[in-house]
Amino acid sequence: MYKEPDIASGSFFPGFFLHNSAIMNNQLTYQRQRQRALAFLLAASVDAVFKGQKRLILDHSFGDGYFCHFSDFSPLTDDQLKMIHDYMEHLIKSCRFIEKRDATSRDWRHLGGPDHANHRPPILSIGEFKSPSYEATELDLSKLPQYELKSYNSGFLIRDGRGENGSLRPFKDYPKLFSTMEEYESWGRILKVHSVIELNAQIKSQDFKELLWVAEALHEKKIAQIADAIKKKSTAKLVFIAGPSSSGKTTFTKRLANQMRVNGMYARTISMDDYFIDRDQMVPLPDGTLDFESIDCLNLTDLQRDMESLLKGESVFLRSYDFKAGKARILPEKISLGPGDLLIFEGIHGLNPIITSHLNSDTYFKVYISALTQLNIDNHHPVSTSDARLLRRIVRDSKFRGYSAEQTLTRWGSVRFGELHNIFPYQEQCDMMFNSALIYELAILKRHAYPLLRKAPQSDVRDRLLILLRLIHTIPERFVPGTSILREFIGKSYFHY
């Protein structure tokens, strides 16, 4: 029997159930500062244990930690992992604090970024090991959560405690997500870009146009593969597309519909938001606000009834939701599904089993989309996937919704709460995943996001994003195709939204 994930028990991290954007922002920042301290300790310990003979790569975030491997992909034994863990414990007990000092020009010369002379983040050190610090890091080692090193795939995971009082949760694997991340890694090898250093080198050498075109071609190829998989599942008439904020769901949906036309099928799109209940029927949260990202805000009875009717070949009325008035509207226009037709449902709850609990699994196909960037600043600093999406959202909110960067940053904690509660627990329920990240996108977003962030009040998140953008050269956006997912955020898309 299906059971909702136990959010209130702290299965994500302490106090997760408190739906307050400021509280969530603070919790996420604190969690991230401790995670970065553990990553720094790991890098220092690998350097000490292998005496500089092995290069550690913190590849990307995964689950409740980072996926790591050596640069030569040589395997680690359990004994070697224990040696690294033991040395981390030695550093925690003997050093107590990570030291921080101002950076010199020599510390930053290797990055080749455009703005280092005036903006050099500090250097962290412990013992003989040192590393640049691109964001706030917990310096007091007594405040670190529980952690473990766990063999995984071709490398290992460093997991940090996000349960009650910083305790480790039982390990939960996400094989589909990891496979998607590894696919994107292979794209990086095709594009010959894994780091900010390599991205800047291509931009300065004017090779960025080929980089951009190939990155877009890889996207189109993957969308075509998803369309082929949907066609192959000949009994599927409904397609559900879900993903976190600023993943590019709308543009992906339109491009998928085009690929379905190539396959001889016609796809119409419905937003699940059109099935919201009236605002006065929504149950407010303890602080009086409404959580529009809760599945309880959907009229599940009508949504499931219309799905069943469409699968039977019957017609149903289209809907629209008036967010200003907070009222659902039933439109006079009807739709039905013919022999070669598909209906695409776009919405954050598309992967939730409750939505399709009444349907035969042969009748639908589920796609998860997210911007899982694999770009690293250097070997020990992967760019956060949530930061990449936040930059997209800051640009879009300013350009199309009239929000300042400050307003978007303030709301981000609430957005993240909704993602952790309503989307991420179900990502492995999908049939296929699509990674909407583009290796070059930060070089485009910088022109828009950087001036917006400079106007925002100081905060750890704002400062972290500014540091990241300062490291990257820009690309003229005229080279971005009109069908690119990036156009959903920067404007001038060929699609109508």
pLDDT (mean) for 426-451: 97
Selection from 153, 147, 146 nearest residue 174 by Cα: 153
CA distances, 441 to each of 190, 232, 235, 335, 447 (Å): 17, 32, 37, 37, 11
- pLDDT (0 to 100) of residue 103: 83
pLDDT tens by residue, 253-262: 999 999 999 9
1: confidence class by pLDDT, cuts 50, 70, 90: very low
Element counts in the chain: helices (H) and strands (E): 13, 16
Asked whether 126 and 138 are in contact (CB, 8 A), the reply is no
Same domain, 438 and 475: yes
Q: Is the pLDDT of residue 8 over 70?
A: no
Would you say the C-alpha torsion 283, 286, 287, 292 has a positive or negative sign?
negative
Question: What is the pLDDT confidence band of residue 78, given thresholds at 50, 70 and 90?
Answer: very high
Same-domain check for residues 150 and 207: no
Find the mean pLDDT for residues 93-102: 94
Poorest-pLDDT segment among 186-195, 299-308, 338-347, 438-447:
186-195
Residue 84's SS3 state is: helix
Q: Is 393 in the same domain as 486? A: yes
Domain-embedded: residue 11: no
Per-residue confidence band for 18, with pLDDT thresholds at 50, 70 and 90: very low
Number of domains in the chain: 2
pLDDT tens digits along 298-352: 999 999 999 999 999 999 999 999 988 899 999 999 999 999 999 999 999 999 9
> Which segments within 133-271 are labelled E, that is strand?
147-152, 155-160, 238-242, 266-271
3-class state of residue 64 by DSSP: coil
What CATH number did the domain enclosing 116 receive? 3.30.980.10
Q: Please report the pLDDT score of residue 116 as a whole number.
A: 53
Give ∠ CA 214-62-291 in degrees, rounded to 5: 95
Residues 46-60, mean pLDDT to the nearest whole number: 94
Buried b (16+ CB within 10 A) or exposed e, 220-257: eebbbebbeebbeeeebbbbbbbbbbbbbbbbbbbbbb
> Could you say which of 166, 199, 227 is where a domain stops?
166
The residue segments making up the domain with residue 181 are 175-490
Question: Residue 13: pLDDT above 60?
Answer: no
Classify residue 159: in a domain, yes or no: yes
Check pLDDT > 90 for residue 179: yes
Identify the pLDDT of residue 111: 58
Beta strands in 135-229 (DSSP E): 147-152, 155-160
Angle, CA of 159, 33 and 412, to the nearest 5° = 100
**Whole-number pLDDT of residue 9:** 28
Whether 346 maps to a domain, the answer reads yes
For 30-49, what is the mean pLDDT?
Answer: 96
Distance separating alpha carbons of residues 146 and 148, to the nearest angstrom: 7
Domain co-membership, 320 together with 436: yes
The yes-or-no verdict on residue 16 having pLDDT over 60 is: no
Q: Which of 166, 191, 220 is the last residue of a domain?
A: 166
Same domain, 96 and 213: no
**279 and 384 in one domain?**
yes
Q: What was the pLDDT predicted at 49?
A: 97
Among 120, 136, 166, residue at a domain's last position: 166
12, part of any domain: no
67 lies in the same domain as 35: yes
360 shares its domain with 474 = yes
The distance from CA 316 to its chain's CA centroid, rounded to whole angstroms, is: 35
Q: Cα 324 to the chain's mean position, in Å?
A: 29
Nearest to 154 by CA among 73, 235, 96, 98: 73
Query: CB under 8 Å to 387, separation ≥6 — which residues?
Result: 464, 465, 468
Residue 208, pLDDT above cutoff 60: yes
Q: Give yes or no for residue 288 having a pLDDT over 80.
A: no
Asked whether 341 and 268 are in contact (CB, 8 A), the reply is yes
Angstrom distance (rounded) from CA 148 to CA 163: 14
Average pLDDT over residues 3-9: 31
Domain with residue 466: its CATH number is 3.40.50.300
351 touches 434 (CB < 8 A)? no
336 & 450 share domain: yes
Q: Are residues 127 and 189 in the same domain?
A: no
One domain, residues 122 and 208: no
Question: Residue 123: in which H helix or E strand, if any?
Answer: strand 123-126
Whether the pLDDT of residue 119 is over 90: the answer is no
377-422: pLDDT as tens digits: 989 999 999 999 999 999 999 999 999 999 999 989 888 988 988 9
Q: Are 434 and 222 in contact (CB under 8 A)?
A: yes
**Do residues 297 and 352 both lie within one domain?**
yes
